[in-house]
Chains A and B, each alone.
Chain A
Amino acid sequence: MAQAVFTTGKARGWSVPRWRPRQATVLAFAMLAPSLLFLALFTYWPVLQVIWQSLHGQLRVGGPQAYVGPQNFLKLFADPAFRKALGNNLIYALGTVIPSLVLALGFAMALVKSSRVNALFRALFFLPVLIPLVAAASIFLFLFLPNVGLLDYHLAKLAISGSNWLGDPDVALWSIMALTIWKNAGYYMLFFLAGLQAVPADAYEAAILDGAGPWQRLRYVTLPYLKPTIGFVLVIGLLNVVTQVDHVFVLTKGGPSDSTNLLLFYIYQQAVENYDAGRAAAGTLVMLALLLAVTASSLRTLERSFGEKEP
């Protein structure tokens, strides 16, 4: 409101001479130029480059780059390792985002009341967010170590024999997912803590007067109010799932037999280990498409929070 008053200053016409339009345009683009230069170099140009590269390749070994049509994509999708990585990423997405979301909501609801004890526990849940993913992976390396590792050692005391957490192709991805949930739940909790502040106390009181139990209040009061927060956290969670693979690098390098390979790590392998630029570009493009699909769904939220039109 106050802002509306201030910004109408221009319309009132009394004020000091404003920038003449042309001058303002020159100044604006001069000020945007540094950002636009770096955006062009490291955002727009690479996108164009992967599009070009995904359509080109060497027709024979050592030959010049030639247009090959959709061949890179066909080869990409014909590669079992890529299909495995795509499938893994899907399982990984569902298996980490949903549990982290539920845990984060639970933590936030339990710890929303401000007290010294709750503040301490909130901080504890937030600690994993602050350490590098590589550091987390280094710790979990011992946690998952067969026989003498932290997990097996304590399971053995309970007379349970643990599995080969990172060595068994059926288990490894789930172990990686446990690490991801541990790392991210505290981050999402922050957003739910902020979102819960927006739920009016009256709503709960009315629900209690109507005889609603705790689960009904969660279903009919809390969750409807948290809808925007849930959507927001879902997008951040999906972005994390696609863009963070450091732990895969340290713990399993995508193995055993590609059971923990994820898209970004596959692309990294194609580019750095196999020197297959065409396939890496095609893979990058597939990933960009996935990212756009995720972020486009949240475009309206982005526009609202950063948008041109102020409320």
Chain B
Amino acid sequence: MSAATMSTGVSTGEITPKLGYTATLLIAGLWMVPFIWMLVAAFNPESTGAGMASLVPSYIPTLANFREAWASADFPRYGLNTTIISLGILAVQIITITLAGYAFARLDFPGRTVCFYLFLLQLMLAPVVLIVPNLTTIAKLGLYDTLLGVMAPYFASAFGTFLMRQAFRAIPRELEDAALIDGASVFQRIGFIYLPLAKPSLVAFSIVSVTAHWNEFLWPLMVINSPDLRPLTVGLASFTRGAEGAQAWGVIAAGTLLVSAPLLIAFAVFQRAFVNSFVSSGIK
């Protein structure tokens, strides 16, 4: 707390920290300009023309641009595809990371250290870098141009595994022993003891995972060919290219707002959970 007072210069009366604070607030204003423009342009009754650069609305807001965007791209379907991709990845990840996390946290077995480094390797080599060889694998598996093909490379998560391992380790062994005496199987013990107690870590991982895959672009762009299977990001990119040709900036703003809104709303509602999980995420 007092570290904070220092940096705002309250206790010392210094001028530099105050200037820094003021500068930060000014930069925050600058940071908001793209968002403000998006809002102002999206609700503008016009979509092209010289007035589009205004940051102050001088019109009666309408939904005309949204209607136009809605009509020219199949956003509901893109949204559905993105939802299926992000939640599908998460569902499989929760199974794989829980199992692997338990093995690392509670079981002794030869080759543990080797396995640990095998997992660590995934953290070191970001999956997106391997898009070219992975596309070959996906095609060989017959998953080209399918949503499953977009999801498959993310089904294992070293980050999630290590996160679950940490959470499981913090749970007292006595609880598991008690359940063992009652004759609970290993999966019952995981389901009824470990998972409920590791809920905060699970939530943190879910937020990071869904955000990352909701926003992903290059990999789905390579895997998906049919317009019907495009996720939001790929849909938005091709929609933007079309509307750019028509100079329909208001429509682009409306489409961008539609695509960005779900996560922004989720953030507004669950702000603390988002911030905590992003801090704990570090390396995805």
Q: A: which residues have CB within 8 A of B?
A: 2-3, 6-7, 9, 15-16, 19, 21, 24-25, 27-29, 31-32, 34-39, 41-47, 49-50, 53, 103, 106-107, 109-114, 121, 123-143, 145, 148-150, 152-154, 182, 186-187, 190-191, 194, 196, 199-201, 204-205, 208, 213-215, 217, 232, 235-236, 239, 242-246, 249-250, 264, 267-268, 271-272, 277, 280-281, 284, 287-288, 291-292, 295-296, 299, 302-303, 305-306, 308, 310
Contact = CB atoms under 8 A, between A and B. Distances in A.
Nearest to B169: A3
B99 A138 contact: no
Interface of B: 1-9, 11-12, 14, 16-17, 20-21, 23-25, 27-28, 31-35, 37-38, 41, 50, 52-53, 55, 95-97, 99-100, 102-103, 107-110, 112-113, 115-116, 118-137, 152-153, 155-158, 161-162, 165-166, 169-170, 172-174, 177, 180-181, 186, 211, 214-218, 221-222, 232-233, 236-237, 240, 244, 249, 252-253, 255-256, 259-260, 263-264, 267, 271, 274-275, 278-279, 282-283
Contacts of B165: 306
Given A50-B133, A236-B283, A243 B155 contact: no
Given A16-B177, A182-B31, A130 B211 contact: yes
8 contacts: A31-B103, A37-B156, A110-B8, A114-B4, A130-B263, A131-B263, A148-B52, A284-B132
A196 B4 CA distance: 9
A121 B25 contact: yes
A232 B34 contact: no
A272 B221 CA distance: 10
B132 A214 contact: no
Nearest to A270: B132
Contact of B218 (A44, A264, A302): A264
Nearest to B239: A138
A190 B31 contact: no
B177 A214 contact: no
B216 to A, nearest CB: 8
Contacts of B267: 123, 126-127, 130
A130 B99 contact: no
A213 B137 contact: no
Contacts of B170: 3
A205 B12 CA distance: 10
Contact of A284 (B20, B32, B130, B174): B130
B99 A46 contact: no
Given A113-B7, A288-B129, A306 B177 contact: no
* Secondary structure of the A contact surface, majority rule: helix
A47 B125 contact: yes
A51 to B, nearest CB: 10
A268 B237 contact: no
B24 A149 contact: no
B264 to A, nearest CB: 6
A6 B215 contact: no
Nearest to B2: A201
Contacts of A39: 118-119, 121-122, 156, 158
B53 A38 contact: no
B6 A208 contact: yes
Given A3-B169, A46-B134, A187-B278, A302 B120 contact: yes
A257 B58 CA distance: 40
B109 A267 contact: no
A228 to B, nearest CB: 12
B137 A42 contact: yes
A123 B272 CA distance: 10
B278 to A, nearest CB: 6
A139 to B, nearest CB: 5
B118 A36 contact: yes
B173 A243 contact: no
A264 B133 CA distance: 13
Given A42-B152, A132-B215, A295 B129 contact: no
A168 B217 CA distance: 26
Contact of A264 (B95, B129, B134, B181): B129
Nearest to B171: A6
A125 B4 contact: no
